[in-house]
Chain A
Amino acid sequence: MFMMPNLRTARAGLMMGAAAAALVLTSVTADAETIRWARVGDALTMDPHSQNEGPTHTLNHHIYETLVGRADDGSLTQRLATDWGISEEDENVWVFTIREGVKFHDGSDMTVEDVVFSLDRARTPPSGMAALHAAVEEVTAVDDTTVHVRMSGPAPLYVQNLTNTFIMSKAWAEANGVETSPNFAAGEEAHSVRNTNGTGPYMLVERDPEVRTVLRAFEDHWADAPEVTEIIYTPITEAATRVAALLSGEVDIVQDVPVQDIARLEQTDGISVVRGPENRNIFFSYDMTSDSLASSNADGNPFASPEVREAMSLAIDRNAIQQVVMRGESQPSAAPLPPFVNGWTEDMHAFGDPDLARAGELMAEAGYPDGFSVQLDCPNDRYLNDESICQALVGMLARINIQVDLNAQTRSLHFPLIENWETDFYLLGWGVPTFDSQYVFDFLVHSREGSYGSFNGSRYSNPELDEKIQALATMTDLEERDALIAEIWDEVMEERIFLNVHNQVLAYAMRDGINLDVHPENQPRMTTVTFD
């Protein structure tokens, strides 16, 4: 299904020598603005519901639209829904008012039927989005502009789960046999993997997975026309090559800028860098429950000792990690959640200077005056400088005689260790797409049972806390709910389940004359690009 390269992309030119000329060309012609956009990886699929994954959503947001959007400050915005709220008659029902006059790329009108169809498709396995809609019982169209979503109980925050659930055309899906999201096991490629029909501001012109994807502005889009009329999206895996492509003028925007290159790029003529906080925190956690640790020479489980956990929190030098490992590009914090998230407080965030003397005393009190050894599992291709952060911690813990063996490996080997409880001590980064603490508790704090605790690698289990966490899901009095969240956090911080390092900061580098802000979920929209 590849298309012939067209003349316009040919003119955009990948030839080096023409880079300077292309620059002049694009800034003069106001009617055709092309953005050449590079990042580390490609979207996995164009199917709107198959994968719940960042880069996939980022690209699909240009082609498909969601009911509600997420603004750069994290707040919700209107998109295909113009209004939403909990029904006054029934607290279990969410009511959405659907925008009128919206067209799909094939020219057909979007109706409430399409919305119902899409939400149903998204919540039906094997859709990757199903978990976010697990509480949905039924989706119905009430009239031409209203859709009701009935939940299994009160779900005051459900709308927060909708920011990555796209609306697609029912007729198109049925005509192409993609009524459900693609099934890997079926052994056939679904039409929706490389073909699209959304309502978004751009149409898919060319899709060559992992090589290049070309989008062109959709003229019948309901919103104002974006300044960028064409997007050429190219994944470049190697960090050095990605930066080289920007320096040589072969791409206009680089999304995943290695932290060490940010300062240098800022000083480079013709290139500017924007940065902003990401909704993701990076932390260490440990098995604090088992009787002994597989990778440790210690008797018993040192992490079970509150003194050891406190000693570790006194040994870590977050500011040094920020200054050296992250080159200043992070927000050191002791709070195991990003500041965007409901429940974050200044108190949780604050941390003191490292105190090795006190940490040493605590180690002795805990019965480990000579320390112990343990393995630290760390991903090396998932978060910004993940391996270097782990390496820095190895040095810091060595000062209090905790001898750490570093096991850094690729993400597909790292994450199953947490999932299968095969790691004693690990690094994890957590993004909070719902912008609410409950999401953190559900996956990281609640005991592992059912859909809860799947990333709870600490094996922490506290039935009392579990009850409180479950109660959060259905509380409609938001003030009361926030109080309970604070209560749970007090307990979690007291127990030191997490040894938080920092919140990630995102940086996008681009050629001068392009304006693009950092998106907290790392999903930049080319519709928001303006030119000087």
Chain B
Amino acid sequence: MADFTPGNRPNALARAWDSDIAWSFRHSPLAVIAAFVSILIILAAVFAPWIAPHDPFNPASLDLMDGFTPPMEPNAFTGNVYWLGTDNQGRDVFSTILYGARISLFVGFMAVLFAMVLGITLGLIAGYRGGWLDSLLMRVADVQLTFPSILLALLIFGVARGFIPPAYREAMAIWVLIVAIGLSDWVQYARVVRGATMVEKNKEYVQAARVIGAHPAKILIRHILPNVMGPVLVIATIGLALAIIAEATLSFLGVGVPSTQPSLGTLIRIGQGFLFSGEWWILLFPSITLLALALSVNLLGDWLRDALNPRLR
């Protein structure tokens, strides 16, 4: 714990810099690199429309004859040069990666958020209320685990296609994907939160809050939630990497975002078809981007886990 003498109040930034977490961060070069890489990719993705030289999602701007241009070489028909070459539709690989990372990250973040909100809510309720509600929710969690995540996502996707009118299918595909991935991941949050809630709810301060008539929801959010945020954050970080990979895997199984607006995973699935035909750049660059992104997020999750575990310090 940082030790401050009274009267010497540092500003928030300095306080954060001096905190345990920050100290651990500064002394873990791997975490620093990982954070740098993730932030770089995230920023590049967020600002893709301003950074990317082309808009690969605008079909009118594409020239099919630009297709299969090797990196840094002029196209045989059009003479255009692209840093990282073009894919089978004449899309600039560099721009497509930026836009694709945007989709992948969006799917990843939203899926994690969805799983987190659902898992925390159910976990809090199950842990606080206990009894039959708890049993029911945990049985549901068991059934949920019985359905392996890929299968679940596959089936949810199928159902959504049945429900959604044809005209909205393309627009809805990304949301269906988010729900499918998120829904297969909530159990972890629920279990952790439930366990912690069961411990916390018997502590004196919670009992005290209950005695003075605080609303259960207030108790849960004010007192219990902050105590479980550490492990939840760890699960969420690793969950983000998992969700991005899951999106890629689903794309391989033919379930995912439309190929006119490809994610990183879709790009890799497309590029995989060109492994033996000589157009290596269509596979290589998106793969490296995905690897860098998932690896650095995983490393951050790793570091966070160690940093938040007081016994390992």
Contact = CB atoms under 8 A, between A and B. Distances in A.
A161 interface: no
Nearest to A377: B166
B276 A264 contact: yes
A423 B165 CA distance: 11
Interface residues of B, number: 31
A380 B251 CA distance: 12
Given A381-B254, A391-B260, A375 B170 contact: yes
A320 interface: yes
A244 interface: yes
Given A324-B90, A387-B259, A413-B161, A258 B64 contact: no
B136 interface: no
Contact of B89 (A240, A295, A391, A407): A391
A325 B258 CA distance: 18
Tell which of A321, A408, A423 has the most Cβ of chain B within 10 Å: A408
Contacts of A381: 254
Tell which of B60, B90, B273, B276 has the most Cβ of chain A within 10 Å: B276
B8 interface: no
Given A380-B254, A408-B259, A323 B279 contact: no
Given A294-B166, A394-B59, A240 B258 contact: no
A324 B277 CA distance: 13
B259 A264 contact: no
Contacts of A397: 59
Contact of A264 (B89, B165, B272, B277): B277
Interface residues of A, number: 44
A247 interface: yes
A395 B65 CA distance: 12
A394 B277 CA distance: 25
Interface string B251-281: 0001000111000000000001111111100
A112 to B, nearest CB: 49
A239 interface: yes
Contacts of B150: none
B167 interface: yes
Contacts, number: 94
Contacts of A317: 64
Contacts of A324: 64-65, 67-68, 88, 90
Nearest to A259: B277
A470 interface: no
A407 B170 contact: yes
Given A388-B89, A422-B166, A240 B273 contact: yes
A263 B279 CA distance: 12
Interface in A471-510: none
A325 B276 contact: no
Contact of A398 (B60, B65, B171, B279): B60
Nearest to B68: A324
B59 A395 contact: yes
Contact of A263 (B90, B260, B273, B277): B277
Contacts of B68: 324
A294 B167 contact: yes
Contact of A375 (B90, B166, B259): B166
Contacts of B279: 260
B54 interface: no
Interface in B256-313: 258-260, 272-279
Given A388-B88, A391-B89, A406-B259, A320 B65 contact: yes
A410 interface: yes
A396 interface: yes
A419 interface: no
B166 A261 contact: no
Interface in A229-245: 239-240, 243-244
A114 to B, nearest CB: 44
A264 B278 contact: yes
A394 B91 CA distance: 13
In the A-B complex, the 9 residue pairs with the closest CB atoms:
A398-B60, A324-B67, A398-B59, A295-B167, A260-B277, A395-B59, A405-B170, A320-B64, A395-B62
Interface of A: 239-240, 243-244, 247, 258, 260-261, 263-264, 294-296, 317, 320-321, 323-325, 375, 377, 380-381, 387-388, 391-392, 394-399, 404-410, 413, 417, 422-423
21 contacts: A243-B276, A260-B88, A260-B274, A264-B276, A294-B165, A323-B77, A324-B64, A375-B167, A375-B169, A375-B170, A391-B260, A392-B89, A395-B62, A395-B64, A396-B64, A398-B59, A398-B60, A405-B171, A406-B259, A406-B260, A407-B166
Given A240-B272, A264-B277, A388-B89, 18 more contacts: A258-B273, A260-B273, A264-B278, A320-B65, A323-B77, A324-B67, A325-B88, A388-B88, A391-B89, A392-B64, A398-B58, A398-B60, A405-B258, A406-B259, A406-B260, A407-B166, A413-B161, A423-B166
